[in-house]
Amino acid sequence: MPCDTVTSQSVNLSNAVKSILADALTADGWTIKTDSRTQIVAEKNWNTLTWNKGAGLTVDAMRKNDIIQEVTQSYSKRAVFWAASRAGWTVKQTTNNTLTVTRR
């Protein structure tokens, strides 16, 4: 019997997996300047973003909220693909901000 479930999640980047966040930033065109165990500093178009484990993002930019939203969405997408691949599930992007995960 099929089971369709819609789940929405919120993301707290203070608890982000650093490797997934670094991949998301790189894919979005950010240049990582510092990558330590607990911190990432990245730059893009004269904007600077700093992520500290346990504290989250700080952004030095005019469009601070837009950048945080873009990074959060990119991180979320990468995290879903990462988790689905570990479970052997498939992911399809149905709209810009919607992913469908299906058990194989």
Domains in the chain: boundaries: 13-76
Average of per-residue pLDDT across 4-27: 84
The correct CATH number of 13-76 out of 3.50.50.60, 3.40.50.620, 3.40.190.150, 3.30.310.10 is: 3.30.310.10
User: 3-state DSSP call for residue 28?
Assistant: coil
Share of the chain above pLDDT 70, in %: 89
Output the pTM of the full model.
Answer: 0.81
Tens of pLDDT, residues 54-87: 999 999 988 999 999 999 999 988 888 888 888 8
How far is residue 17 CA from its own chain's centroid? 9
Question: What is the distance between the alpha carbons of residues 49 and 41, in angstroms, rounded to a whole number?
Answer: 6
Query: Do residues 77 and 84 make contact, with C-beta atoms less than 8 angstroms apart?
Result: no
What's residue 49's pLDDT? 95
User: What residues have CB less than 8 Å from 14, skipping those under 6 apart?
Assistant: 52, 53, 54, 55, 56
